Structure 1
């Protein structure tokens, strides 16, 4: 089994890269999806987040109001770190369970948005970074996701710098171009990952 960490800043196109790798046969461990699971109603994770940030982060149905929580933590680095400290260990534990269930010859791609921020690069044998310029990311967030420019810039600023992500990269997918150009790069990255997995035998 080859454990790969894949990351990229918001708006870089990480989700598309993950989708393409999954189509090649990668076993995907999606940290974002798991992060949602660990704060579902009735979980210890949600209880801990409510204890830290108050009942106002819940919807009327008792679910986590992600938009409201996002506005709180993305404007305050200290509160963002507090949230990460609560949720990250739960996500790590669940991710390890999913990874352990993969076949022995699998290429397991861990989709980890905060890999650089949380200093997790050394947990993976290969780190792949989906990279895009600030201008390209801002355009995608405002045009495709409907964010205001202020909200988009705030979320980008709350993450690691582009330089910090590239510093931990073993392989880089340049996603300033088209989906087709990204797909061609993913093909090459997949070839290299499967070759490495095969060498390990």
Structure 2
């Protein structure tokens, strides 16, 4: 049973930036699961005129808007990831908005659905109480840095993002399943296949680490 009354089974997939959690989350499409990517949700809620956009402008001013009034998320990120107080402020105003929107999306799903939430901020945003099963994906810092570099982040931006995840150990401790993503994509797929073979009605009672 989900922890949102009357809703569907909810699986959370978290991990440090660059760990490969999105690959694991999207593997649940084999169950016809609906994948909620928290980064994409943030992008959608940040569009001009939407709730998160309004909250950012109110708290940070209009200096992060482009000529069309859209929020420049990368510019904001470069600033907040270097300043813990500003990051805390952004989290404080954004996380309740995420949680409220997630509940709305989940409650709209049909009874046969499965929802998978993909995101690094499950702990900070107070989303763990919503999920029935928490999967944590981890990888060595060197590999995570390499993946972030491939996405176009500079060394300074990578260091800032890695340091910003101060609660990642809290997320790991609360997980039911830990997947080590430290070798090849083929090896990761084998681990994902193993997890996906666990009956969905039993997965929240499962306690296993795949190494």
TM-score (norm 2): 0.85
Alpha-carbon distance in 2 for matches of 1:85, 1:169: 23
Alpha-carbon distance in 2 for matches of 1:46, 1:4: 28
- Structure-2 residue corresponding to 1:58: 65
Whether 1:111 aligns to 2:110 is no
Residue segments in structure 1 that go unaligned for 5+ positions in a row = none
1:123-146 superposed Cα distances (whole Å, 9 cap, x missing partner): 21111111111111011111x112
User: Aligned runs of 1:8-157 on 2, under 5 Å?
Assistant: 8-142=15-149, 144-157=150-163
C-alpha contact 1:4 1:108 (8 A) present in aligned 2: yes
Whether 1:175 aligns to 2:181 is yes
Alpha-carbon distance in 2 for matches of 1:23, 1:64: 35
The RMSD of aligned alpha carbons is 1.9
Residue segments in structure 2 that go unaligned for 5+ positions in a row = 1-7, 206-211
Structure with the larger RCO, 1 or 2 (CA within 8 Å, 6+ apart): 1
Alpha-carbon distance in 1 for matches of 2:142, 2:168: 12
Alpha-carbon distance in 1 for matches of 2:105, 2:191: 27
Secondary structure, counterpart of 2:152 in structure 1? coil
TM-score (norm 1): 0.89
Matched residue count: 197
Taking structure 1 as reference, are residues 191 and 171 closer, same or farther at Cα in structure 2, changes over 3 Å only? same
